[in-house]
Amino acid sequence: MKLWDKGFSIDKKIELFTVGNDREIDMHIAKYDVEASRAHAVMLESIGIITSEELEQLKSGLKILAESIEEGTFIIEDSFEDVHSKIEHELTKTLGDVGKKIHTARSRNDQVLVALQLYYKENLEIINSKTKTFFDTLLGLAETHKTQLLPGYTHLQVAMPSSFGLWFSAYAELLIDDVYVLNAVSKIADQNPLGSAAGYGSSFPIDRDITTKELGFSTLKYNVVAAQLSRGKSERAIASALGGLCNTMARFAMDICLYMSQNFGFVTFPDELTTGSSIMPHKKNPDVFELIRGKCNKIQALHSEMLLITNNLPSGYHRDFQLLKENIINAFEDVKDILDIFNYSIQQIIVKDIDLTDEKYQYLFTVDSINNLVVEGMSFREAYQKIGSQVQAGTYKPDLGKEHSHIGSIHNLCLDDIRAKFPK
């Protein structure tokens, strides 16, 4: 029995195409649909649509379903379109006519909307927490390796001295910007759409404040049309936020792949974290970081997909929205996995000692040499020309002893300030 069943069967080819793989994807939102159903039942009892006894029966039935979801025994058989029809079926099978009352004053549209909003809200918090863990790891590595110098590059040409402390803490501080955006998107997800029904509300005297409080939303999407229009808008904002975080991680992963190569040789990892070649026995490949880079780049493309699916759709519900679920949920699951594996792997990084007296690094300190001359009284332009002439003549001798003391430089990393800056 489908939620929209009117006494006739749909063409099987049409059914297969329209349902797609909703059953598999809906397993991720099953627990949230149960939570929303419970809140909806509480509200129905408060306005006299169901009795207090019926409410307790529904609560009991929903608790059993919640436990089966948590235990991993809950399944959505092929005979059901989605998780919503499965849950209503189970309640009806257990409670009879009482189970049939759960769909009163709501539509499958606001049912899936609220389940998704709850999923987004909770998983944004999880990603925020995992990002903080990764942030703390990077600052710890920055502290450990703050005195170890590293060549800095512009245009992939040797440029100026950097350090591993500067490198690790740079990506840590970039994560703060990503969390600012994640927190902003969390506010978008933290709005209750339940009660908008099919997008035009209900003639029942429902109390949307009750479901908002029961589900822990900080506010609700007041306008029922706006609630339906938020489908797609939420996903675009979330995809952009996840993409920003992934951009940071992809660039960091690229640095690691580059720095592991023999031409750089700045870092390495234990053999257990790398892979080999089927024909080249000397290979020690950074596959985990290459996959992090690839997965992060894939997620960065998600915003374009969300935009193109929903761009210029008129107001009201459209089945196109069904196509948003799979890849946005997969992105959430992938980002959580990426943060875990990145944090696990980077803790095992082996930082090598770099010989900055090597010939290829001889011009790494030219700017410091210019600055020394300026401090001694020479104009910057004259100092630049003098050191430039030495470089051209091959007579330049680097001065490795210059310290960089300003805020955020090699010898003044401000790690405590960066740590305090992370949003509470």
Q: Which two tokens stand for residue 179?
A: 């969390």
Residue segments in the chain with a per-residue pLDDT below the cut of 70: 1-20, 276-278, 283
pLDDT score at 402: 85
Q: What angle do CA 333, 336, 341 make, to 5 degrees?
A: 125
pLDDT score at 279: 73
Return the domain boundaries, the chain. Answer: 12-104, 109-144+164-351, 359-421
Q: Give the pairing of strands 219-220 and 191-192.
A: parallel
Nearest to 152 by CA among 141, 163, 142: 163
pLDDT score at 6: 47
pLDDT score at 273: 84
- What single letter denotes the amino acid at residue 319? R
* pLDDT (tens digit per residue) in 386-396: 999 999 999 99
Distance, in Å, from the CA atom of 92 to the CA atom of 133, rounded to the nearest integer, reads 44
Distance, in Å, from the CA atom of 356 to the CA atom of 362, rounded to the nearest integer, reads 7
Fold of 12-104: Fumarase C; Chain B, domain 1 (1.10.275)
Asked if the 109-144+164-351 domain carries CATH number 1.20.200.10, the reply is yes
Distance, in Å, from the CA atom of 255 to the CA atom of 164, rounded to the nearest integer, reads 12
Q: Are 177 and 422 in contact (CB under 8 A)?
A: no
What angle do the packed helices 380-393 and 366-375 form, to 10 degrees?
A: 140
- β-pair partners for 161: 151
Radius of gyration of the chain, Cα coordinates, nearest whole angstrom: 29
Q: For residue 45, what are the contacts with CB-CB under 8 A and spacing of at least 6?
A: 51, 52, 54, 55
DSSP state, residue 11: P
Q: Which two tokens stand for residue 75?
A: 């399944």
pLDDT score at 4: 42
